[in-house]
Structure 1
Amino acid sequence: MRDNCSDYRQIFLNDSPMMDARAPVEFNKGAFPNVVNLPLMTDIERQKVGTCYKQHGQDAAIKLGHQLVQGKTREERVQRWAEFATANPNGYLYCFRGGLRSQLVQEWLKSDAGIEYPRVVGGYKAMRNFLIDTTDQAVAQCNFVLVGGMTGTGKTEVIAQLGNSLDLEGHANHRGSSFGKRATGQPMQIDFENALAIDILKKRNAGMEQFVLEDEGRIIGKCSLPLPLYEGMQHFPLVWLEDSVEGRTTRILQDYVIDLSAEFINLQGAEEGFKAFAERLMQSLTNIQKRLGGERYQRLAAIMQQALLEQETQGDVSLHRQWIETLLVEYYDPMYVFQRENKAGRIEFVGEQAAIVEFLQHRAAK
């Protein structure tokens, strides 16, 4: 049998498959990539054992656990564990702290299925702490530069062209603005943080010590940036990406109208998908109604409704350009002008996309 593992670094660098023996309620709060939830106990069983532990101690709780998971129930669970272990011979199993539950899964796998399978020492909690430390250490030890710029300049496109970038919006599955919600949902907060930390770990392992990030607020949709990273971003140097209003309008039209409607239609079919897309777009505008003011909101909502009608009935998206350009010039741009003025002392370079990418590539090579 391979030894039980406490080398969390290698587990994540190797994308080791893992079996999570925690109850579903624990797993659903957050886990790691390449993990399958194959619990020792259901949520109800775990609750009963936990209550027993508090009232009568560990021995009574273990006895109750064996009573709850026996016979056919035990056979079915061991079978699922055995199938995972056989399909993933280089994997591991874990529970919350690497204690009783994962040890019991190990014992039953060996006694009932003849399979010896290693567990992660310290379990979920130790691996989670390792990943939190990974991000914190990177903030303290590495060099970061931010890509700023007006809405629609293509900051995400710059990030995608650089090998040393960290795509915060990609990990959050959100485009970062009031209109940034995608057709598919966002990850849980813990999953977002874990994926980001693993990205950092792999890039540092490859020798990268300078990272490029998009300049973001603390929250991307419903995902919050790790606090040390966000605090660092208030001081990191910036490059400022520029593009024309026309270019930015075209980019937003592609991302927030053409591509987003396609996402919804791909998931839900033509009729229901377009309906859901239209509702999402209108809701995004409603979300900033107070900041827009009543008159401007009504004006933009009317244009958007007409644009959606033409898109649905004629396949023509050109009318969307009107509300997009108005929103840029009248709403987003004044906010970004203010931000740029506040961050002027940190801006190292200003240019359009090709020049920004070239500058950042040279910067990373120094």
Structure 2
Amino acid sequence: MTMVQVVSVESVQFSDYHVIDVRSPGEFNEFHVIGAQNIPIFNNDERAKVGTTYKQVGKDEAKMQGLSIVSPKLVNMVHELKQLQLRESKPFLIYCARGGMRSNSFATVMSLMGFECAQLNGGIRSYRQLIVSTLASFAKNSTKFVILEGLTGSRKTDLLEILEEDGYPVINLERMAGHRGSIFGEIGNQGRSQKSFDQSLYLRLQEIGSTDYYMIESESKRIGKVIVPEWILQGKEEGTRIYLHYPLNKRVESICNTYKPLHYHHQISEALMHLRKRLAPELYEEVTHALENRNYHTVVRLLLEFYYDPKYEYTANQYERDALEVHLSDLDTGLSNIKDILTRL
């Protein structure tokens, strides 16, 4: 009888394996190990049917139903594993939700077909628990924060990305959330679940390792569907602030380049409707008229001047501590000034 090796999440190095997630596509899309391949035993509807049978009829009937669903798929599954093996020769690590029947059955059958397989003990749930406990330990640290602030369109994200590439301890919260943090924030992005966000944060903190500070963009508690951990928000409140000054015309241009309004006109129009109750009627009418005429620069300028800028300035004025100020004439100069400040700090 083939016995499948069971490994713990604490001992495993995912990069040593072809990681195979056998859960349904819906489960996979919500949260999965980064780099994992989804080879689902059941699709979303099949999973629901088997689950219903299990609850309403019984375990044995559900197992028979599952077997009838999976059997025709086995040849294709073997083929998928062979293709992965041809690309890179290494063993397979199989996981499901809790390290139960789905992953064990798949790993056993594939082992019988000659593949070297291991099963992740506790499934994706054990990995999630590892992430949560590790993030909780980071919350106890006293690492300080440097916060990049500035009005909407001030190139904060661009600067953070360059600083990260240059080796600075940047935590890019918006990228992790798949959202830019406003009504329009998911346009051109794929919003991510809390579990996926936490995984990205966990991996980035592991990558950074020991550091004197973390650098983030000033964010609110919620970014799209994601809640920022309280310890990061606390670090933001207590950290060193760097405030970017960037001319309005350049901010308008930057936002248009980022959001690509010609390509996402319909999504921008829909998002604007969510702002209707927050804008003065005359302003909303002027903005929608400019949008209808594809005058995107006017749309952006009006929203900045009469909505986003006053809102941002009000929040910034709530801080008791003054910010270090950087005036951006261009990105390179601003980057150099920020690096000088970080060196002095």
Task: Please classify the TM superposition score into its range, dividing by the shorter chain length.
Answer: 0.7 to 0.9
Q: What does 1:332-343 correspond to in 2, within 5 Å?
A: 332-343=308-319
Cα distance in 2, alignment partners of residues 342 and 135 from structure 1: 28
Q: Secondary structure at the match of 1:343?
A: coil
Cα distance in 2, alignment partners of residues 287 and 66 from structure 1: 44
Gaps of 5+ in 1: 265-276, 309-318
Relative to structure 1, is the Cα distance of residues 90 and 349 closer, same or farther in structure 2, using a 3 angstrom cutoff? farther
Relative to structure 1, is the Cα distance of residues 285 and 42 closer, same or farther in structure 2, using a 3 angstrom cutoff? closer
Relative to structure 1, is the Cα distance of residues 74 and 359 closer, same or farther in structure 2, using a 3 angstrom cutoff? closer
Q: Secondary structure at the match of 1:180?
A: coil
1:268 alignment counterpart: none
Gaps of 5+ in 2: none
Letter in 2 for 1:352: H
Relative to structure 1, is the Cα distance of residues 128 and 295 closer, same or farther in structure 2, using a 3 angstrom cutoff? same
Q: Is the 8 A contact 1:166 1:213 kept in 2?
A: yes
Match of 1:322 among 282, 298, 318: 298
Per-residue CA deviation, residues 191-226 of structure 1 (Å, 9 max, x unaligned), is 23322322222222xx44522111112222333334
Q: Is the 8 A contact 1:93 1:118 kept in 2?
A: yes
2:326 alignment counterpart: 351
Q: What is the deviation of 1:127?
A: 0.8
Aligned-residue CA RMSD (Å): 3.3
Q: What is the deviation of 1:160?
A: 1.4
1:253 aligns with 2:256: yes
Cα distance in 2, alignment partners of residues 96 and 293 from structure 1: 49
1:363 alignment counterpart: 342
Cα distance in 2, alignment partners of residues 303 and 49 from structure 1: 52
Q: What is the deviation of 1:282?
A: 2.7
Q: Secondary structure at the match of 1:238?
A: strand
Q: What does 1:1-366 correspond to in 2, within 5 Å?
A: 4-8=6-10, 11=13, 14=15, 17-47=18-48, 49-51=50-52, 60=60, 64=64, 67-68=67-68, 71-84=71-84, 87-88=87-88, 89-111=90-112, 113-141=113-141, 142-163=143-164, 164-204=169-209, 207-208=210-211, 210-230=213-233, 232-256=235-259, 259-261=260-262, 264=263, 277-306=264-293, 308=294, 320-345=296-321, 347-353=322-328, 354=333, 358-359=337-338, 363=342
Letter in 1 for 2:342: R
Q: Secondary structure at the match of 2:196?
A: helix
Cα distance in 2, alignment partners of residues 180 and 66 from structure 1: 41
More helix by share: 1
Q: What is the deviation of 1:298?
A: 0.9
Q: Is the 8 A contact 2:51 2:62 kept in 1?
A: no
Q: Secondary structure at the match of 1:146?
A: strand
How many residues align? The count is 333
Q: Is the 8 A contact 2:152 2:251 kept in 1?
A: yes
Cα distance in 2, alignment partners of residues 9 and 71 from structure 1: 32
Query: Scaled by the length of structure 1, what TM-score is found?
Result: 0.77
Relative to structure 1, is the Cα distance of residues 343 and 69 closer, same or farther in structure 2, using a 3 angstrom cutoff? same
Cα distance in 1, alignment partners of residues 74 and 299 from structure 2: 60
Per-residue CA deviation, residues 279-309 of structure 1 (Å, 9 max, x unaligned), is 2233333321211111111122223333x1x
Cα distance in 1, alignment partners of residues 254 and 36 from structure 2: 36
